[in-house]
Amino acid sequence: MNRLALVTLLLGLCSNAQAQNNIGASQCKSCHEFEYRVWAASPHAKAHVSLSDLQKRDAKCNTCHLMTADENGPEPVGVECERCHGPGRYYHRRYVMRDRELSRFVGLVEQKPEQCLQCHTEGAPSIRPFDFATMWARIDHGREARLKWEKTRAAAALKAKEAAVETEDEP
């Protein structure tokens, strides 16, 4: 199938309801381990826990704090990847993600402060006003952060391998 036909097909498929197009963070994890780890340790992953039962029924609160895990799971979860990056059903495949233009065309959203401000508004209960640079530093899962993590992991693996070799060489 040529690229134009693929794009046309995907564009037609993208007209489905957004909730049905979510795949869930566990699907993202299969290719984005670092990003998943950062998310899982972040307040976003636990955003739903901070709501009372009454707030969970309030559309104003649950619009930002709650998501459905995926199209098959009714279990509510916190703010998952797709709340910020768009529903992943059509861009999550490796061949699409490797094509920057195509992945954005079918729904992948690149983060900008304006997107954060959809939930982090002046009206949102918070002690401090939202500051993108400060908050991004807490959840940074961009390219540079991932490369640093990969380098640290590789160094740790090499150190463990060297330690294992030294142990084998001991009499």
Give tens-digit pLDDT for 13-69.
443 455 679 898 999 999 999 999 999 999 999 998 888 889 888 888 888 887 765
Give tens-digit pLDDT for 84-93.
999 999 999 9
pLDDT at 156 over 60: yes
| pLDDT value of residue 68 | 63
Six-digit token string for 18 = 């957004």
Amino acid at site 142: G
| pLDDT value of residue 15 | 38
Radius of gyration of the chain (CA): 20
pLDDT band, residue 128 (cuts 50/70/90): confident
Instruction: Say how far apart CA 131 and CA 171 lie, in whole Å.
Output: 58
Cα-based distances in Å from 105 to 102, 112, 121, 126: 5, 17, 28, 35
What does DSSP assign to residue 149?
A: H
pLDDT mean over 148-167: 91
Give tens-digit pLDDT for 118-127.
899 888 877 7
